[in-house]
Amino acid sequence: MNITHRAAKLAECFARNPWKILGLALSLSVLALWATVQLPVYTSRQALLPQNTDVAKRFNAFLKNFGAASDLMVVLEGAPRSELESFANDLAAKLRAEPEIGQATSRLDMAFFLDHSYLLMPAEGLDKLTAMAKRPIPGGGLEENLSKALSWAKDHPPLGGTDTDLQTAEAGLNLAAFFLEEWQRWLSAESAPAALDWSRLLAKNGAGGMADGYFASRDGKMLFLFVHPKNASGDFEYLGPFVEKVKQVSAALSGQAKAAGHIPPTVGLTGLPAIEYEEYVNIRKDITLVIFTSAGLIAALILLVVRSVRWAVLIFIPMGLGVLWSLGLALVTVGHLTIITAAFIAILFGLGADYGIFTSSRIAEERRAGKPLVEAIGAGIGSSFIAVLTAGGASLLIFGALATVDFPGFAELGLVAAKGVLMILISTWMVQPALYALLPPKLKEINSAITQTVPAGLGKYSGRFPKPAAVALVILAIGCAVFGGVKGLGIPFDYDLLGMLPKDSQAAYYQRRMVAESDYQAEVIIFTAKDMAEARRITREAGKLNTIAQAQSLTSLFPEDSGERLHKAVSIGESFARTDYSRQVAALDRAGLSEKSFELLRAVLENSTPIIDEAQEQAFSAGHSKLVESLENVRGQLSDISAKLAADGEQGRVRTESFLRALLSGADTGLKVIDTWRQAQPLSPEQLPPALRDRFFGADGSIAVYAFPAKTVYDPANLDALIKDVYSISPDATGFPTTHQVFSKAVVDGFTRGTQLALVLCLLWIMAATRSVRGFALAALPLLIGGGWMLGLMALGGIRYNFANIVALPLVIALAVDYGVWFSYRWSELKGHSPLEVSLAAGKVIGLAAGTELAGLGAITLASYQGVSSLGISITLGLVCCLTATLIVAPAIGQLLDSRRKP
């Protein structure tokens, strides 16, 4: 007894005992439903990544030690800087009070850094302060000192003979240029500024974007808050409430600012937590949309074509039960779902409907031939069994090949999909006969559009291609497929995860702006050092790399000579306490800038030009071109200020007096800081502010150094150069860029091998099942030709592979293999009919099957998440190509291979 006959007898048995079979199916479904309810869905990206690699182990070790590796970044813009700072401070304070928030940092504690500035400033600066404290204080007020300065400017000694080195001279000129720029700002502003803009000076000394401790863009128009969750898990159970709380608090604070008559800043969220949040929310929304849309479209299509509710039930119920059983089976095999495997349900809907369409159409054909119901069910199942087994087995092997990929997210997709196909096949063969016996569609309800009756004739047409036309069609089809396959080999892979987010993604928008406009970005490199000496080395070497924009560490607070610096700081504080600097600064502030002092100041400025010219000549003679440029810059600033003061008159004096008071306020702050040095004590990590201690010191005492890449890490060339430099400093470095490099290549390499293996297994299976050259060619060539066309159209259309649509080709192979297989078997069955007659007969069922797949998978193109949408576009393109190759090219192939076939 052959397998076809056994399948037919088994189907008859199921049809004669429908209630027993449906009772068994119901029991299995209840059990599967219980298992599905217990099935956890892992929403973290970590669930998709291999955990047995070195980079993953290093990253997980860091998470365990430090609690989190990525910050949620809150971006503020669109308001004056003072309002941005006020809003940032208020927002950070409110966020820290929320239970979901672990830490929120709007700025560094500058008071702490000022109090310990003796640890941060160059050693030469401490020596100069020591000398300054010992130097006698110039007597007299501002007027007297300006008179002395004017006399010196008019009759000064030669400038040469000093022992000032070039670096010190350039630093002094930069400082002078900063104060002159600020003076000009005071003179030209509509209203006098509130304080000196120290960000200009910080930027010139390599610390741009850190004025007053705020994290800012290079132009200072965007501020950034770094927010840590209380629970660092990437699972949406914790990530969702964390991000939503930040949004809620930000919106509430914006509302309060608006109610108070202020224009609140624009608030944006970015960083990896925001990206993962957007990713999950949009994919979850898209999955819901796709499942209901695809189910509705498939049902509508089947009802429209077959015009029978019963027939739709016969197709849908076995498919739905198969999907449910596969989900229940996932609990005892994989143990969980991910956002990728959960999204595959829509694909199973499209694929699973094919088998029910094929079998039910053959049953209907047997009934139309006059066979009794049970016998027709058995004959229909039996005659379609080999074809369905061939197609389903090929899909099962293809998905099984994906399970070999060294990337858990996609390997699990292959495993879940393979078991889904198996369960749908079992459900179709077991449940459909029983259902059909209970709910047989009335023959008059069975639309001939679905039954596979062969056309009575094609009129004056023979139904055969003219041989030259058949040869030309096949050669052209194969040639285009080869061309497409070659072009497909050159389709680039897009490593940019941001490009997969929705087009209106806030996280992607601000992340790209941060890379372009600041020295910060979410994708940070993290070094860990066992002690402070190693942390100093890493910070020093990372700061020299062109691939690193800036390196953040606390090593400057723990210099090697900290003990010596502490001793000097105490001594300087005590020395300044014995001076009269504070009283003199207060006296100058009270006196202000009189008209006579103002005129003396203008005279000093005018007489400074010859001194600058003399210094330029000496610098030029010594070959110091950079120093010449700096002197010329200062000369131009002095000339501009002199011209502005002459033009503005009294307003110039008032503005200059305001600028002088700002300078004196800064000097008074500096003196107060120096006074605190008298009580300076050795600094330990435990004394650091919590935000700094938690970020830079791990639970085991290790020290973190954060390095922000200079360029986007989503460009493979940038990423490879960055990682090469990073590992040259420390092979133990971690962070998103290190995992992204390894896992991206694992995805590309794994899927290349997985797709090749899937195609080979598919072809070998078809060859074994068809057992003839003609049968194999008719089953396989439409798939190969359609796949080649698909790749060619993707290349010509500029579609690039990404982390989502890279699965499109193996999915198309699994989905479209049915078309060629069904056509091959119908060709063998309808021996007395012409190629076009076979195409018309088989095309009814193949078209409906393809229609259900396109309805289900075409819905994916509606997804807002561009990664999912691009997958839908690629699969739709592939299915249309394979369908066209099956219905148009396959008949010509059959005619050439079966030349003696007569209609």
Q: Calculate helix-pair angle for 808-829, 866-884, nearest 10 degrees.
A: 20
- pLDDT of res. 74: 95
CA separation for the pair 622, 614 (Å, rounded): 13
- pLDDT of res. 30: 95
- Would you state the torsion angle of the CA atoms of residues 418, 420, 425, 428, taken in this order, to the nearest 10 degrees? -170
- pLDDT of res. 833: 81
Residues 694-725 as b or e (16 or more Cβ within 10 Å = b): bbbbbeeebbbbbbbbbbbbbebebbebbbeb
Q: Which two tokens stand for residue 134?
A: 């010992």
Which residue do the tokens 């074509």 mark? 305
Contacts of 546 (CB under 8 A, 6+ apart): 710, 725
Q: Give the pairing type, strands 215-216 and 101-105.
A: unpaired
- pLDDT of res. 334: 85
Answer with the residue of higher pLDDT: 443 or 688. 688
- pLDDT tens per residue across span 782-831: 999 999 999 999 999 988 888 888 888 888 888 889 899 989 998 888 88
Q: What is the DSSP string of 59-100?
A: HHHHHHHHS-S--EEEEEESS-HHHHHHHHHHHHHHHHTSTT
**What is the distance of C-alpha 400 from the center of its chain?**
28
Contacts of 651 (CB under 8 A, 6+ apart): none
Q: Which two tokens stand for residue 447?
A: 């639309």
Q: Is 581 exposed, middle or buried (0-12, 13-18, 19+ CB in 10 A)?
A: middle
Q: How many CB atoms lie within 10 A of CB 771?
A: 9
202-209: list long-range contacts, CB under 8 Å, 24+ apart: 204/174, 204/178, 205/174, 208/519, 209/518, 209/519, 209/520
- pLDDT of res. 889: 93
CA separation for the pair 333, 416 (Å, rounded): 9
Contacts of 817 (CB under 8 A, 6+ apart): 391, 394, 395, 398, 762, 766, 779, 783
| DSSP H stretches of helix in 235-308 | 236-259, 272-306
Answer with the residue of higher pLDDT: 207 or 399. 399
Q: Please determine, for residue 459, whether its predicted confidence score (pLDDT) is greater than 60.
A: no
SS3 161: coil
Asked if 165 contacts 180 with a C-beta cutoff of 8 angstroms, the reply is no
Q: How many CB atoms lie within 10 A of CB 338?
A: 23
DSSP 8-state secondary structure symbol assigned to residue 686: G
**Range with the lowest mean pLDDT among 41-45, 371-375, 739-743?**
41-45
- Among 548, 723, 732, 703, smallest CA distance to 55 is for 732
CA separation for the pair 272, 285 (Å, rounded): 20
CA separation for the pair 862, 855 (Å, rounded): 11
Give the Å distances, CA to CA, from 131 to 117, 127, 134, 137, 671.
18, 6, 5, 12, 15
- Among 118, 113, 110, smallest CA distance to 678 is for 118
Show the 3-state SS of 431-469.
Answer: HHHHHHHHCCCCHHHCCCCCCCCCCCCCCCCCCCCCHHH
Q: What is the DSSP string of 563-613?
A: HHHHHHHHHHHHHHHTSSHHHHHHHHHHH---HHHHHHHHHHHHTTHHHHH
First-to-last CA distance in the chain?
A: 32
Phi/psi of residue 341, nearest 5 degrees:
-65, -30
- pLDDT tens per residue across span 83-105: 998 999 999 999 999 999 988 98
Average pLDDT of every residue of the chain? 85
Q: What angle do CA 283, 288, 290 make, to 5 degrees?
A: 90
- pLDDT of res. 497: 83
**Range with the lowest mean pLDDT among 133-137, 183-187, 209-213, 793-797?**
209-213
Q: How many CB atoms lie within 10 A of CB 282?
A: 20
- Among 565, 672, 663, 661, smallest CA distance to 201 is for 663
Give the Å distances, CA to CA, from 259 to 82, 148, 770.
18, 56, 76
- pLDDT tens per residue across span 216-231: 888 888 999 999 888 8
The edge-to-edge listing of strands for the beta sheet with 525-529 is: 548-552, 703-709, 525-529, 734-735
Q: Which residues pair with 76 in a beta bridge?
A: 223, 267
Percent over 90 (pLDDT), the chain: 30
Q: Calculate helix-pair angle for 773-796, 890-897, nearest 10 degrees.
A: 150
Taking residues 859-883, report their average pLDDT: 86
CA separation for the pair 692, 252 (Å, rounded): 28
DSSP 8-state secondary structure symbol assigned to residue 707: E
249 pLDDT tier (thresholds 50, 70, 90) = very high
173 pLDDT tier (thresholds 50, 70, 90) = confident
Q: Which two tokens stand for residue 263?
A: 């224009």
Q: Is 886 exposed, middle or buried (0-12, 13-18, 19+ CB in 10 A)?
A: buried
CA atoms within 13 A on the CB side of 298: 34
pTM higher than 0.75:
yes
**What is the distance of C-alpha 10 from the center of its chain?**
52
- pLDDT tens per residue across span 528-543: 999 999 999 999 999 8
DSSP 8-state secondary structure symbol assigned to residue 267: E
- The helix or strand, by DSSP H or E, that contains position 213, with its residue range, turns out to be none
- Among 196, 241, 197, smallest CA distance to 219 is for 197
- pLDDT of res. 203: 47
Taking every pair of Cα atoms in the chain, the longest distance, rounded to a whole number of angstroms, is 125
Taking residues 50-75, report their average pLDDT: 83
Q: Please determine, for residue 446, whether its predicted confidence score (pLDDT) is greater than 80.
A: no
Please report, for the chain, how many H helices and E strands are present, in that order: 34, 11
- pLDDT tens per residue across span 543-595: 899 999 888 888 988 999 999 999 999 999 998 888 888 888 888 888 888 88
- pLDDT of res. 209: 43
Asked if 432 contacts 313 with a C-beta cutoff of 8 angstroms, the reply is no
Q: Is 836 exposed, middle or buried (0-12, 13-18, 19+ CB in 10 A)?
A: buried
Give the Å distances, CA to CA, from 49 to 300, 408, 483, 740, 809.
39, 6, 35, 10, 22
Q: Please determine, for residue 449, whether its predicted confidence score (pLDDT) is greater than 70.
A: no
